[in-house]
Structure 1
Amino acid sequence: MASTLDLPTPLVSTEWLAQHLDHPNLRILDATVHLAPPNEAGQDWSQTSGRPDYLTAHIPSAAFADIIDDLSEPDGGWFTRPSPERFAAAAGRLGIGPDTAVVVYAANVFWATRVWWLLLANGFDNVAVLDGGFGKWTAEGRPTRTGEENYPPAQFVGTPRPGLFADLDEVKQVVENVSGACLINSLSPEEHHATETINYARPGRIPGSRNVFVAALLDPTDGTFRPVPELREIFQEVQAQPGRKVTYCGGGIAATGDALALRLIGETDVAVYDGSLREWTSDPSLPVEVG
């Protein structure tokens, strides 16, 4: 029987992955999705599977994790987290069992952090995101393969942790000062302070939100997360707020990047508002701050 493989979560380096690439208990997942905003009012964001990119080139042994069709709830909205039963079935098809370790990457790292967060929320801890992703892997001249690869099916085991996601009612309580928590908007400063938008039903942010732009968490030279001291400086205002930290964005994807960074700097009570601005701004009775 192969020895267990304990990951240095929540991030692993390309060097670490290269050294452990052939471990029989390792599951590598490519979670790439391509997203494009609307170019005029009334349109919706377009979403395209990254499977064609995966088939063209992927890290050896990696399987494709289909966020659009398998790791979201059908008819539940935009990339809504799947039910525990649906997630367990999809994870099992990806070969994720009790003795496995999972490393997730994507062309845009925040799809990888989304899968990382989904695994944590479903009670699976031995998972990490590839720091720098596929871009850093290929820039270093490391090997790739073409075509489809799959792991043997497994029985996924995990006890769901619903507290890792915040729902609409919880966010309402935060806004109404019923619940002591800090709301963090992961979108750009321009979107945070917007007075008009075609991206969502209404411009603006959830009242009381702090803004930590998720792209600012990455080193622009290689796409890796910034060192912990730099992340602490970026989140200084957030960490000065007591209590739970609830991240959001447009639809619960980029917000998982802020969630990972918060974990890196030692925050343990962190949640992602899955509905994010798509849900919040679509209800005209809910308040927004603009400008």
Structure 2
Amino acid sequence: MIRKRLQLTIITLLLILTGGFSGTATAAGVNPLVSTKWLAGHLGDKNLVLIDVRTVTNYGVGHLPGAVNMPYAKFEPMSEDDSCRLMPSPADLTALLRGLGVNASSHVVVYDQGNTASDATKGAASCWILEAMGMNNVSYLDGGFTKWTFEGRIIDNKKPVPKAGDFTAKLDPAKLATLKEVRAAVKAKNVILLDARSADQHFGATKSGEVERFGHIPGSLDMPAPYLTNAGINRAPAYLKAKKVLAAIASGIGLTKNKNAEIIVYCNSGQFAGLDYFVLHRILGYKNVSVFDGSMMEYASHEKLPLVRFAWGHVNK
């Protein structure tokens, strides 16, 4: 009995140390979701690059020790072009990340403000962009800056001057869905479309001002990104719900348990879809998940493409 308990204790400790309770580790063993406690103990790691995706102003007031600034606003769609891409070009991202000291061997940890669900989507979408551009060793700090400061941990306002990195971005097309692929998915029997917007927007009762029409893409399920965090509950920071709760949400909306299923996630601009992507792919282990970068801003701008309003999406394939 004592030996059995000892074995269970050892196994539990190994799971904790390797992040076995937090998500699906990468091939290099990097945990996709790291805690503030873990980060506090690894700030001095040689290959660690801590990226703050908050505004330049917030970063300047105070940030986690050693963090460099990559404002999420750099990725926000600013063009009147209906394609409205979040994803930068490989050349632009290569220059940006090298300037921040990112190497091919770096372990990048991304954090956001961590105060609201919207904050969490910015951090998660940044992780998706980095992963889609070939950054395999990228993690997301659960709870972000807010959780870190709530715990009384040290911050500073010094701006590091990193040595130029050697990372080279290369797009993995399997992680980025195009309008052509989404149109095909509407008719396909083996592709799941997943809406990360609010229930009101999915149903068609409301819409974002940046989107031209109401409703959702035919056949798509709805998994609102804000439902995936504990933001605001008892004044909690925006940390992710427990893995078992996230799995229950995925099951509850009717998502298949087949981890090899092809899933395309969308929202209004790609931002909220980034959080759904992170949860499905990095936490729950779905292998074939991509983000429709143009999302509803692009899809709804094409008047002849069908949308469903005043109805709930469902898989009818």
**TM norm structure 1:** 0.86
Secondary structure of 1:128's counterpart equals strand
Q: 1:231 — aligned with what?
A: 246
Q: Quick one: distance in 2 between partners of 1:82 and 1:222?
A: 29
Does residue 142 (structure 1) correspond to residue 153 (structure 2)? The answer is yes
Does residue 262 (structure 1) correspond to residue 280 (structure 2)? The answer is yes
Of 191, 196, 199, the residue aligned with 1:186 is 196
Q: Quick one: distance in 2 between partners of 1:254 and 1:243?
A: 21
Conserved in 1, the CA contact under 8 Å of 2:52 and 2:110?
yes
Cα shift at 1:24: 2.8
Cα shift at 1:210: 0.3
Gaps of 5+ in 1: 1-5, 33-49
Q: 1:43 — aligned with what?
A: none
Secondary structure of 1:259's counterpart equals helix
Flag the structure with higher helix content. 2
Q: 2:215 — aligned with what?
A: 204
Conserved in 2, the CA contact under 8 Å of 1:54 and 1:147?
no
Q: Quick one: distance in 1 between partners of 2:161 and 2:85?
A: 23
Count of matched residue pairs = 267
Secondary structure of 2:265's counterpart equals strand
**Residues 136-145 or 111-120, more deviating:** 111-120
Secondary structure of 2:276's counterpart equals helix
Conserved in 2, the CA contact under 8 Å of 1:27 and 1:151?
no
Which residue type is aligned with residue 282 of structure 1? S
Q: 2:58 — aligned with what?
A: 53
Does residue 281 (structure 1) correspond to residue 300 (structure 2)? The answer is yes
Q: Quick one: distance in 2 between partners of 1:142 and 1:103?
A: 17
Q: 2:314 — aligned with what?
A: none
Conserved in 2, the CA contact under 8 Å of 1:93 and 1:154?
yes
Which residue type is aligned with residue 207 of structure 1? P
Conserved in 2, the CA contact under 8 Å of 1:54 and 1:146?
yes
Which residue type is aligned with residue 280 of structure 1? Y
| Cα pair distance change 1:287/1:226, threshold 3 Å | same
**TM norm structure 2:** 0.79
Q: Quick one: distance in 1 between partners of 2:262 and 2:192?
A: 6
Gaps of 5+ in 2: 1-27, 114-118, 311-317
Q: 2:122 — aligned with what?
A: 111
Cα shift at 1:148: 2.9
Cα shift at 1:7: 6.1
Q: Quick one: distance in 1 between partners of 2:41 and 2:155?
A: 15
**Residues 118-127 or 151-160, more deviating:** 151-160
Q: Quick one: distance in 1 between partners of 2:203 and 2:292?
A: 19
Of 57, 61, 71, the residue aligned with 1:66 is 71
| Cα pair distance change 1:25/1:167, threshold 3 Å | same
Q: 2:132 — aligned with what?
A: 121
Cα shift at 1:53: 0.7
Conserved in 1, the CA contact under 8 Å of 2:61 and 2:157?
yes
- Among all aligned residue pairs of Structure 1 and Structure 2, give the percentage whose two residues are the same amino acid: 30
Conserved in 2, the CA contact under 8 Å of 1:249 and 1:255?
yes
**Residues 7-16 or 251-260, more deviating:** 7-16
Query: Which whole-Å deviations, capped at 9, do the CAs of 1:13-65 have from their partners, x for residues lacking one?
Result: 00011001122321111112xxxxxxxxxxxxxxxxx1101101111111110
Q: Quick one: distance in 1 between partners of 2:216 and 2:157?
A: 42
Does residue 88 (structure 1) correspond to residue 94 (structure 2)? The answer is yes
Which residue type is aligned with residue 237 of structure 2? D
Q: 2:34 — aligned with what?
A: 12
**Residues 220-229 or 55-64, more deviating:** 220-229
| Cα pair distance change 1:257/1:17, threshold 3 Å | same
Q: Quick one: distance in 1 between partners of 2:71 and 2:227?
A: 27
Q: Quick one: distance in 2 between partners of 1:187 and 1:203?
A: 12
Conserved in 2, the CA contact under 8 Å of 1:93 and 1:153?
yes
Q: 1:44 — aligned with what?
A: none
Conserved in 1, the CA contact under 8 Å of 2:200 and 2:206?
no
Q: Quick one: distance in 1 between partners of 2:228 and 2:207?
A: 24
Which residue type is aligned with residue 106 of structure 2? T
Conserved in 2, the CA contact under 8 Å of 1:189 and 1:211?
yes
Query: Which whole-Å deviations, capped at 9, do the CAs of 1:71-103 have from their partners, x for residues lacking one?
Result: 578856545311112211111111110221100
Conserved in 2, the CA contact under 8 Å of 1:205 and 1:288?
yes
